[in-house]
Amino acid sequence: MRIAVLREAAPGERRVALVPENVTRLVKQGHEVRVERGAGEAAGFPDEAYAAAGAQVGDAGATLDGARVVAAVQRPSEAQVERLPPGALLVGLLAPHAAGPLLERLAARGVDAMAMEKVPRTTRAQSMDALSSQATLAGYKAVLIGASALPRILPMMTTAAGTLAPAKAFVVGAGVAGLQAIATARRLGAVVSAFDVRPVVKEQVQSLGAAFVEVPAVAAEGTGGYAKELGQSEQERVLAAVAGHVKDMDLVITTAQIPGRPAPRLITAAMVRSMRPGSVVVDLAAETGGNCELTRAGETVVDGGVSVIGAVNLPSTVPFHASQMYGRNVVTLLAHLFKGAEADLDAQEEIAAAMLVVHGGKVRA
Ligand code: NAD
C-alpha cells in the first residue's frame, strides 16, 4: 500500500507526520512511502534521511499519486484537499468538532478521514494515542515557558549571598499534560500543587510529589476517562477554592479541557489581579477559549504585572520529539487498521469506527 506524507500547511506547524525511522518500519512491512520534499525539514529530518530510510522524495503531485493513506499532523490546506486522491484515507489531527466544511469536502471527493483526536482512551489504543503523546510534550514545555517568563528561579538555592525560597507552582487540570507539567516543575525544584475535578487524579498528583487542592463534594468524571462540565454550585465551590489558592502562586499552568466544549473558566480576572506582580499564568487551554478569563490565544497579556501567556501548539515548538512520538502513533494505528500490506479497512472494527469521521462519501462526526 502506498503511504504519502505532505509538508504541513498550517501556519507555524513544524511537525511532520512520519519520521525516517517510521519509514524504515513501513517499508519493511511491505508498504511504499512517498514524502513531499522538505516535509521533515522544520522538525530536523532532512530529505536525505527519508530517502536513506527507503522513501521516495518528490513534489506534492508525485507524492500523492496513487496514495492509499495520507498521513498528516494537522488539517490539509484547501489546495492540498483538492489534490487528495479519491479512495485515499487521510489520517491526522483534524479537530473534527470544528471541521464541518473540510469533512464535507473530503466526503464529496471520496476521501475517507480519520481524526487522531478520536482515538479511544483505552489500554489497547494507548500506543496510537496522539492526544497523549502531544499533551505530554505540551505539559513539559509549558513549565519551561513559565519558568523563563518568571522574574525568579524555581528551585530553592542556598548560597553565600543568601537563601532563595522555591517558587510555588499550581497546575490546574491534571490529565496527561497536567501530570507532565507537575513532574517537570518538580524536577526544576518548584513546590507544586494541583487541582482536577476527577477524584481519581488525586493519587497520581500526590505520587508525583505535589499537593492536591481539595474541593469538597466535587466529582465530575464523564465518559471515556474525560471530565464533564460542572454544575453551577460545584463551579462556585471550585472557583472559591482556586481563588484562595492562586493568590500565593508564582506560576500557574492551566490545562483543563472538556472534549468538544469550550475550556472551563477557572481563573478569573480578579484572581489574576490578586497575584503578586511578576507572577505568570501559562494557559494551555488557550485554543479552546482559555481557562483564564484574560487569556488571548497566541498572545501574552500583562495585567497588574502578571503575565497571562496564551500558549498555542506547544508540541510544534519541540517538533523533533513531537514528530517522533506522533509518527509512532500513526505507524501503530496503520498496523492495526491494515493487517496485510494491501488489506482493506474494516470500518466496523472498534478503533476504526471510533476514529473515522468521513467514510464512504459520508461525514460521520
Ligand atoms: P483533557 O485534555 O480532556 O483534560 C485535561 C484535564 O482537565 C483532565 O484531567 C480533566 O479532568 C481536567 N478538567 C476538566 N475540567 C476541569 C475543571 N473544571 N477543573 C479542573 N480540571 C478540569 O484530558 P486528557 O489529559 O486527555 O486525559 C483524559 C483522561 O484520559 C485521563 O483520565 C487520562 O488518564 C485518560 N487517558 C487514558 C489513556 C489510555 O488509557 N489509553 C490515554 C490517555 C489518557
Q: Determine the pLDDT at residue 251.
A: 98
- Ligand 1 within 6 A of 237 CB? no
pTM of this prediction? Answer: 0.95
Look at residue 188 and tell me whether its pLDDT is greater than 80: yes
Annotated active-site residue 56? The verdict is no
Q: Determine the pLDDT at residue 9.
A: 97
Q: Tell me how far the alpha carbon of residue 139 lies from the centroid of ligand 1, in angstroms.
A: 12
| Mean pLDDT across the chain | 95
Q: Determine the pLDDT at residue 343.
A: 65
Q: Tell me how far the alpha carbon of residue 121 lies from the centroid of ligand 1, in angstroms.
A: 10
Look at residue 349 and tell me whether its pLDDT is greater than 70: yes
What does each C-alpha distance from 187 to 60, 309, 317 come to in angstroms? 43, 22, 21
Look at residue 243 and tell me whether its pLDDT is greater than 70: yes
Tell me which of 50 and 344 has the higher pLDDT. 50
Look at residue 342 and tell me whether its pLDDT is greater than 70: no
Q: What is the pLDDT of residues 254-288, one digit of tens each?
A: 999 998 889 999 999 999 999 999 999 999 999 99
Atom of ligand 1 nearest to the CA of 257: 4
For ligand 1, atom 4: residue with the closest CA: 257
- Ligand 1 within 6 A of 235 CB? no
Atom of ligand 1 nearest to the CA of 200: 32
Instruction: Record the cell numbers describing residue 189, joined without a space.
Output: 525544584
- Ligand 1 within 6 A of 264 CB? yes
- Ligand 1 within 6 A of 176 CB? yes
Q: Judge whether 83 and 17 are in contact, CB under 8 Å.
A: no
Q: Determine the pLDDT at residue 33.
A: 98
Torsion angle of C-alpha atoms 50, 76, 337, 107, degrees rounded to 10: -150
Q: Tell me how far the alpha carbon of residue 132 lies from the centroid of ligand 1, in angstroms.
A: 10
For ligand 1, atom 11: residue with the closest CA: 227
Q: What is the pLDDT of residues 13-38, one digit of tens each?
A: 999 999 999 999 999 999 999 999 99
Give the separation between CA 345 and CA 348, rounded to whole angstroms. 9
For ligand 1, atom 34: residue with the closest CA: 175
- Pairing state of beta strands 2-5 and 32-36? parallel
Give the separation between CA 185 and CA 158, rounded to whole angstroms. 19
Give the separation between CA 41 and CA 251, rounded to whole angstroms. 34
Look at residue 225 and tell me whether its pLDDT is greater than 80: no
Q: Tell me how far the alpha carbon of residue 220 lies from the centroid of ligand 1, in angstroms.
A: 11
- Sign of the dihedral defined by the CA atoms of residues 263, 282, 125, 49, in that order: positive
Q: Determine the pLDDT at residue 228.
A: 80
Highest mean pLDDT out of 92-101, 180-189, 215-224, 252-261: 180-189
Q: Determine the pLDDT at residue 216.
A: 78
Q: Decide: helix, strand or coil at residue 7.
A: coil
% of the chain at pLDDT higher than 70: 98
Place 136 in a pLDDT band, splitting at 50, 70 and 90: very high
> For the residues 153-172, what does the mean pLDDT come to?
98
Which residues neighbour 281 within 8 Å (Cβ) at sequence distance 6 or greater?
Answer: 251, 252, 253, 254, 267, 272, 275, 292, 294, 295, 306, 307, 308, 309
- Ligand 1 within 6 A of 121 CB? yes
- Ligand 1 within 6 A of 271 CB? no
> For the residues 183-194, what does the mean pLDDT come to?
98
- Ligand 1 within 6 A of 329 CB? no
Q: Tell me how far the alpha carbon of residue 198 lies from the centroid of ligand 1, in angstroms.
A: 8
Please provide the DSSP assignment of 344-363 as one string.
PP-TTSHHHHHHEEEETTEE
